[in-house]
Amino acid sequence: MNIQGKWSLITGASSGIGEQFARQLAKQGSHLVLVARTKSKLDTLAAELGRKYNIKAEVIAMDLAEADAPRDLFQQCQRLQLEIELLINNAGFATHGLFEQISGQRQHEEIMLNVAAVVNMTHLFLPDMLRRSSGTVINVSSTAGFQPLPYMAVYGATKAFVLSFTEALWWENRDRGVQFFALCPGSTDTDFFAVVGTEEASIGKKATPQQVVETALRSLANKKIYTVPGSQNYLGAQLSRFVTRKQSLRIVGNMLRPRS
């Protein structure tokens, strides 16, 4: 993927995996559209990468969990006359605990950001890519997308949706010049668990965002449909292939059960 001099749009770009995508793509010469809720963080990152790599960086601060936000973002890109060559749907968050005890509003926002925003962003930006017969969409799923997650029921379901959605669109567009790719990281050393509110949602050794993004870009270059960074994470993602669904639920449920 030659991204030099072309525009990449990254959601959730203010920290973690999104920030690391911005850093590695800027190093390759890509111009950036950085999207997240916190404008001050985006401004700092845009200024740093612009100076260091002599690239352009546009900052758009918004909450993509709001229903109209993806269309507003798309229209801003149109007004700025930006052709998005690489779309990275990275923004997302998780909740943890007994389903009925978690705020219904919070879980609704989780679905809006993790699912609805991904679908809407893809639907808005894909037609221009198809007209050019050129473009790439990276959707960030998770190892959570490979099996149901007791105590993280909504999060696991949203990430299963993202993985299924991405693989289906890979097939639809495989001969149309647009590549689809799902990144499925396991536990990663980001602010993710601070947002969740507990480290009990973390399983296994945490990878760094740099390791995750390097694996993603390498797998994308090798024309893979998805990647699970880390051999342990990959084996864990394949658990349901070797045990019954009830056994898988027992294993994962015991790992994620709230301790407090």
CA pair distance 176, 172, nearest whole angstrom: 8
Give bridge partners of residue 35 from the DSSP assignment: 11, 60
Please say if 234 is a catalytic residue: no
Catalytic residue among 53, 151, 155, 226: 155
The pair of structure tokens assigned to 15 is 């920290």
Asked if 136 contacts 178 with a C-beta cutoff of 8 angstroms, the reply is: yes
SS3 content of the chain, % helix, strand, coil (to 5): 55, 15, 30
CA pair distance 16, 210, nearest whole angstrom: 9
| Pairing mode of beta strands 7-11, 57-61 | unpaired
* Side chain identity at residue 32, one-letter code: L
* Side chain identity at residue 203, one-letter code: I
Asked if 140 contacts 89 with a C-beta cutoff of 8 angstroms, the reply is: yes
Q: What are phi and psi of 210, to 5 degrees?
A: -60, -45
Q: Indicate the DSSP class of residue 208.
A: P
Provide the 10 A C-beta neighbour count for residue 197.
Answer: 12
* Side chain identity at residue 27, one-letter code: K
Q: Which residues are catalytic?
A: 155
